[in-house]
Amino acid sequence: MALRVTFVLPVFPRAPVGGFRVVYEHANRLTALGCQVTVVHERWREGWSRPLRHLREAARDHRHRRAPHRAIDWLPVDPRVRLLIVPALTPAHLPSGDVVVATHWKTATLLPYLTPAHGSPVHLVQGYETWNVPDPAPVHQALRLPFPKITVSTHLTRVLSDLGVHSGQITTVPNGLDRTTYRPPPTGAPRAGVAFLLSDSAAKDSRTALAALHQVRAHHPALLARAFGVAPRPRDLPPWIHYAQGLTGEDLAAQVYRPSAVFLCSSTTEGWGFPAAEAMACGTAVVSTRNGGVEDFCHHNQNALLVEVGNPTAMANAIRRLLDDEPLRTRLSTAGLATTATMDWQQSTAALLTALKAIS
């Protein structure tokens, strides 16, 4: 009998988001393996404190309900995957099934109220989601709920253990990577400059990345930087920083990762770290903060250079070191390619399915 899996996401996506991508990637492959997969999203709940946005986003969700698969244009979702946008995340709006997978701390708060008909509850932990949360206590409470946990990194497994979650409740299933999309350029293709993610999220700490790049440019006046993000180009972004909005997949690889000599990850925290992994798979040398998630696959002076969080001078020095030392850059990027060669979505989903069957 086919396993019936329900994923619960907090909202319907407005832009490419790593945690959403993980769910849809698994949904596609679980479906190919014979599972019946439903992904439930809560309707946008901005509230009337911002009436114009509330109405705009509510109208968008209403429109997307008619053809949700077409609305996710940044990643093809198997048409056999059932996508639902529901008025509220309550048990009444969830289908019956064998297992229910919460994918965010807020969606995990629904798990205690499910009935056996919904299926066995499990929390897929994709990040230590305390950013933009004034008090981490509700996050900790959700993470400590007495349900099985599946983490995407050993870093998150340690976070849960430090919060008192028993190791027997935790299974680690690392994310995969689409290496047909994220691949190096032809041998000898020129590389120059630094790539980085530009975001207004405090967890990405783009302000420190920009400060670091200004320091690098003081020594490399011709430095070219390539930034990418989901928002429009900031008005105060210097002209020497090229900016691309909304790139994903092959466009992101071709226009940002592959032409760049160095990729900078400035995050204060990562559950896993897709951009760093994608850049590494494209043969770009990586400088990253010690932010947790990337440390599962980024190892200092072996396949990347790691620096402390929030230190622009350390970031700048690491970038300069790679720009000035081509043999070092080549050694790290070659090792990075070997590292990412082990990242595979098929293996990741197979491990997830094994864990879900054991829970159900």
Does residue 152 sit in the same domain as residue 202? no
Q: How many domains does the chain have?
A: 2
Residue 20, pLDDT > 90, answer yes
Quote the pLDDT of residue 265: 98
Does residue 9 sit in the same domain as residue 130? yes
Q: pLDDT > 70: what percent of the chain?
A: 99
Distances (CA, A) of 8 to 67, 117, 145: 18, 16, 16
Does residue 76 sit in the same domain as residue 165? yes
> What would the pLDDT profile of 69-117 be if each residue is shown by its tens digit?
988 989 999 999 999 999 999 999 999 999 999 999 999 999 999 999 9
Quote the pLDDT of residue 193: 97
Quote the pLDDT of residue 15: 85
* 306-332 mean pLDDT: 98
> What would the pLDDT profile of 145-196 be if each residue is shown by its tens digit?
999 999 999 999 999 999 999 999 999 999 999 999 999 999 888 999 999 9
Does residue 254 sit in the same domain as residue 319? yes
Does residue 48 sit in the same domain as residue 158? yes
* 245-257 mean pLDDT: 95
Residue 17 lies in a domain: yes
- Other CB atoms within a 10 A radius of the CB of residue 144 amount to 15
Residue 146's CATH number: 3.40.50.2000
With both helix axes pointing from N to C terminus, report the angle between 18-32 and 345-359 in degrees, rounded to the nearest 10. 80
Residue 188 lies in a domain: no
Quote the pLDDT of residue 44: 85
One-letter identity of residue 321: R
Tell me how long the chain is.
360
**Owning domain of residue 308:** 194-340
Q: pLDDT > 90: what percent of the chain?
A: 88
* 125-149 mean pLDDT: 95
Quote the pLDDT of residue 61: 83
Residue 12 lies in a domain: yes
Residue 187 lies in a domain: no
Residue 340, pLDDT > 90, answer yes
Quote the pLDDT of residue 66: 85
Does residue 236 sit in the same domain as residue 90? no
- Estimate to the nearest angstrom the gap between the alpha carbon of 303 and the chain centroid: 20
Quote the pLDDT of residue 113: 97
Q: Is there a contact between 280 and 271 (Cβ–Cβ < 8 Å)?
A: no
Does residue 168 sit in the same domain as residue 200? no
Quote the pLDDT of residue 133: 87
- Pick the closest to residue 197 from 282, 139, 264, 248 (CA basis): 264
Binning pLDDT at 50, 70 and 90, where does residue 323 land?
Answer: very high
Does residue 20 sit in the same domain as residue 157? yes
With both helix axes pointing from N to C terminus, report the angle between 206-219 and 312-324 in degrees, rounded to the nearest 10. 50
- Distance separating alpha carbons of residues 336 and 170, to the nearest angstrom: 28
Residue 120, pLDDT > 90, answer yes
* 107-131 mean pLDDT: 96
Does residue 97 sit in the same domain as residue 169? yes
* 111-127 mean pLDDT: 97
Does residue 162 sit in the same domain as residue 238? no
Paired strand residues for 85: 41
Quote the pLDDT of residue 57: 82
Residue 1, pLDDT > 80, answer no
Residue 351, pLDDT > 90, answer yes
**Which has the minimum average pLDDT: 169-173, 186-190, 227-231, 246-250?**
186-190
> What would the pLDDT profile of 191-223 be if each residue is shown by its tens digit?
999 999 999 999 999 999 999 999 999 999 999
Does residue 243 sit in the same domain as residue 286? yes
> What would the pLDDT profile of 28-69 be if each residue is shown by its tens digit?
999 999 999 999 999 987 777 788 887 888 888 888 888 899
Looking at every residue in the chain, the average pLDDT score rounds to: 95
- Distance separating alpha carbons of residues 139 and 129, to the nearest angstrom: 7
Residue 184 lies in a domain: no
Quote the pLDDT of residue 187: 85
Residue 297 lies in a domain: yes
